Amino acid sequence: MKKVLPFILVLLLALTACGTQEIEETASPEENKTEQGANADKEPKKELTAEDEKFTKLMTEKNYDAIIKDSVSLKTEEQKNFYYLASAFIKNNEVQTKTFAETDYNAAKTDYTVIVNYLKRVKYVPDEIKAEVDELRKVSEEKAAFYTEELEKQPTE
């Protein structure tokens, strides 16, 4: 049973990363950017719930496993939000400890793309970790782009 639980957790993370995103009917990207820019200052701050505060505290303590455990049901928006945040940081920690072969650009690209995809699903980032999340997003996007470029340079067989 002890060996099955980590396997199920890894499988769940992989399935979530590869899951389809919901299709939303919205305005065109140009209209969205204009509306978001105009309304950015007018939008009220998100009212924090007890769940937000609990998960924010766990995030600042870097207790990502507890967040995953408490939010894996994905029942509320807060649970989904913090599940994706914690998953991104867990995946980043895995990538940092992983050693890639010099030419294994595909594995590296995939790992960084998973982090970027998790962060794209996040709708709310607490102020306490905003800088850290922004840095993770920036670095992951840059590395995913770098490895994509390296893959494109490789000769096709």
Helix then strand then coil, in percent of the chain rounded to 5, is 70, 0, 30
Is 0.75 topped by the overall pTM?
Answer: no
- Please report, for residues 28, 31, 35, 46, 77, the alpha-carbon distance to residue 39 in angstroms, rounded to integers and kept in the order given: 16, 12, 6, 14, 22
Q: What is the mean pLDDT of the chain?
A: 78
- What's the pLDDT score for residue 89? 96
Does pLDDT of 117 surpass 90? yes
Q: Tell me the two tokens of residue 66.
A: 């507890």
- What's the pLDDT score for residue 57? 93
Residue-wise pLDDT tens digits, 87-114: 999 999 999 888 766 668 888 899 999 9
- Residue 105's identity, in one-letter code, is Y
The answer to whether 71 touches 82, Cβ cutoff 8 Å, is yes
Element (H, E) at 18: helix 4-18
Nearest to 139 by CA among 128, 150, 131: 131
- Residue 119's identity, in one-letter code, is L
**CA–CA separation, 83 and 142 (whole Å):** 23
- What's the pLDDT score for residue 19? 54
- What's the pLDDT score for residue 48? 79
Question: For the chain, what percent of residues have pLDDT higher than 90?
Answer: 48
Residue-wise pLDDT tens digits, 44-53: 566 778 888 9
Over residues 109-125, mean pLDDT? 94
For 74: left if phi > 0, alpha if psi spans -120 to 50, otherwise beta; the answer is: left
